[in-house]
Chains A and B, each alone.
Chain A
Amino acid sequence: MKLLLIEDEKELANSIIYYLTGNSFICEWAVDVHSALDKISTFEYDCILLDLMLPDGNGFAILNELKAQNKTEGIIIISAKEGLDIKIEGLQLGADDYLTKPFHLSELLARVQALIRRKNFNGNNTICFNEITVDVFGKIASVKGQPVMLTKTELQLLIYLIGNNNKVLPKNAIAEHLSGDMADMLVSHDFVYAHIKNLKKKLADAGCGEYIKTVYGLGYKWQ
């Protein structure tokens, strides 16, 4: 999978590239509107991560250009601006998702994967990991072909864990991912433990290997 990151903050760009590269993405980086447009017209990308405030202009210019060129890349806006009006404007201009800074890299990765799945209409809507298969649109998880009854939250957690394969996921990142729009109302992250425990048990009961590891003092990891 090939990604283009358009972001002027070097340190942030480095971290994003480092994290995503570890999960089988090839990540290219453009620092401003000019170089971004250069790359877009030359190469094809699966997904574009777009910062709105760039040194030589507004990220919306890139959205307009993509539209003009009839490009169908998935676009996720990553911006410090968080007004609802800006989100709506970005989505209307053709962006597929909007992530407000600061965010967890695991969340960014999950969003990128979800976007690519949505863009891939030709069949590949399933996530496979060894004996586990998740039909994302059908919302069914199965182990060795046998369906496992998971709650909505557990399914969401499973997709998130598999997507962030081999990454340590802090409890607060998991809690925020599961809370979605309501993350501002989080008063405790303890409920994550209960969901992990339930998911572990259901997978184990279905004869699945132990992939969820507890990383002492840090969080959890799918391995």
Chain B
Amino acid sequence: MKQKLLHKTLKLYIIFSVLVLLFTAPIFYFIADEIQLEEADEALLLRQHEFESILLPGFKQTDIAKWNGWNRDIKIEPANTLIKTSQFSTGNYLNIMDGDFEPYRVLKSPVIIDGAPYILFIKINLLKAEHMVYNIVMLYVAIIFFLLIGLFIISRWYLAKLWQPFQQLLLQLEHFEINNPVNIAYSSTNVDEFYRLNTVIGKLISRNIIIYNNQKEFVENAAHELQTPLAVMQAKLDNLIQADDISPALANGLTQLSNSITRLNHINKNLLLLSRIGNDTYIEQQEVDLAKVLNQQLAFVQEQIDAENITITSHLANAPLKANIALVEVCTGNLLTNAIKHNYNGGTIHVELIGNLLTVTNTGTTTELDSEKLFTRFTKINPASHGAGLGLAIVRKITGLYGWNLQYQYQNNLHVFSIRF
């Protein structure tokens, strides 16, 4: 399963931010707790200092009861245990207002009133732990929520926009065909990497077009140059077989030679055709009556297969088509001859043309053919056949030229080739 780049980065961002937040939450809690205690201690010390410097000098033992009656958080208690220095502690005390126990920070420090030791007891309310945790959690949920929305929006809008030149290039490259090259429109970009990508791909494509054209020219020239020696061979052979004293063995050899020349010629012609499809040679287009073409071809092949007991059925509706008629004939012709060549004695072929869909269904080997290899040139699926494996490669090239959809399927022991025009 391939993921989109945007989704991948977005996923990574989300995982990372959630992890960071989860790890920092307890730390945040402890730091907040620490700060709270520090602040409380400072306030306690301030009150102690206030008391000792302002009130204590005039304080009498008789004032203690009255003081304790009026003050809730600063009390003076008898020194049951002797303490020498101030002591901080934390504990739960009843909050009369709430009727509940709450955490308090407490400072106990020794004071001398009228020569007798007392303890100054100051307490200050702290945040409840569960309150603090609740608040922190709420805060973090809010942060995560806004962070996710932000990341989502950034990746959806901004990053998508940022990657736009890349997507555009990719789309064009997906539809690029070396045998039918269209100019790639490179979007202007101020992103260094995209600019470099555009330049590199531009160079790569133009270099490949040159190589491809050279190769095509080479194939065309080679096939072309082969025709003259082939003509000489054919002519010599045509004269050779006129001799009077040809033994059966020699006759057999000469016939095989002649058939080989025919095959060679056929391969050569197909190579030429393959290298020429897409050239100006076949640029002319006209209305083609596909049913008529097929009927003619069916009548032609019918004669050839009578001996092999192959039954051909057909259902051809009218389907006007705009294309080069020579290429259409090659296309349908190759599909038909293919269905015959790879058939068996007593087999069937069904040709159907409905709307813009042509299907050629035939019996043959009882295994599915490798549809990847099937349309590649020089791939021989059936080693017994005399073809060079160019027929279907030509069909694919022609369908590719016109943007028709060529498909192979294996259904109910039948090989089905279809072209959607």
Contact = CB atoms under 8 A, between A and B. Distances in A.
A18 interface: yes
A166 B170 CA distance: 67
Contact of B269 (A184, A216, A218): A184
B303 A12 contact: no
Given A102-B233, A182-B300, A216 B308 contact: no
A32 to B, nearest CB: 16
A22 B242 CA distance: 11
B89 interface: no
Contact of B228 (A9, A19, A22, A217): A9
A216 B337 CA distance: 29
B236 interface: yes
B314 to A, nearest CB: 16
Nearest to B263: A172
Interface string A174-207: 0010010010111110110010000000000000
B227 A191 contact: no
Contacts of A188: 304-305, 307-308
Given A9-B231, A191-B303, A191-B307, A173 B238 contact: yes
A168 interface: yes
Given A101-B227, A102-B227, A185-B301, A170 B306 contact: no
A212 B232 CA distance: 28
Given A102-B261, A103-B234, A185 B337 contact: yes
A187 B337 contact: yes
Contact of B231 (A18, A101, A194, A216): A101
Question: Do most interface residues of chain B lie in helix, strand or loop, or is the interface mixed?
Answer: helix
A191 B301 CA distance: 10
A112 B304 CA distance: 28
Nearest to A171: B255
Contacts of A171: 255
A185 B230 contact: no
B72 to A, nearest CB: 111
Given A182-B297, A184-B269, A194-B306, A105 B239 contact: yes
B255 A11 contact: no
Nearest to A12: B232
A72 B269 CA distance: 33
Nearest to B270: A184
Interface stretch (A59-67, A77-85, A126-134): A77-85
Contacts of A103: 231, 234
A100 B301 CA distance: 23
B265 interface: yes
Contacts of B262: 172, 176
B272 interface: yes
Interface in B252-272: 252, 254-255, 258-259, 261-262, 265-266, 269, 272
B40 interface: no
B337 A102 contact: no
Which among A179, A184, A187 has the greatest number of chain B C-beta atoms within 10 A? A187
Interface string B283-307: 0000000000000110011011111
A19 B281 contact: no
Nearest to B248: A217
A16 interface: yes
Interface in B302-340: 303-308, 326, 330, 333, 336-337, 340
A191 B235 contact: no
Given A188-B305, A191-B304, A85 B281 contact: yes
A106 B238 contact: yes
Contact of A185 (B228, B281, B300): B300
A102 B241 contact: no
Contacts of A187: 301, 304-305, 337, 340-341
B269 A15 contact: no
B224 interface: yes
A80 B301 contact: no
Contacts of B261: 102
B238 A11 contact: no
Nearest to A105: B238
Which among B303, B308, B326, B330 has the greatest number of chain A C-beta atoms within 10 A? B303
B56 interface: no
Interface string B52-68: 00000000000000000
Contacts of A219: 241, 255
Interface in B206-234: 224, 227-228, 230-234
B127 interface: no
Given A102-B230, A103-B231, A185-B337, A19 B238 contact: yes
Nearest to B242: A168
B7 to A, nearest CB: 52
Contacts of B296: 182
A219 B259 CA distance: 12
A119 interface: no
A167 interface: yes
A173 B265 CA distance: 13
B238 to A, nearest CB: 4
A96 B73 CA distance: 126
B341 A170 contact: no
B191 interface: no
B35 interface: no
B281 A80 contact: no
Given A168-B241, A190-B304, 4 more contacts: A19-B235, A101-B231, A105-B235, A187-B341
29 contacts: A9-B231, A11-B232, A11-B236, A12-B231, A12-B232, A15-B235, A80-B227, A82-B269, A82-B272, A85-B281, A100-B227, A101-B231, A102-B234, A102-B235, A105-B234, A168-B241, A170-B258, A176-B262, A182-B296, A182-B333, A185-B297, A185-B300, A191-B304, A191-B306, A215-B241, A216-B248, A217-B254, A218-B255, A219-B241
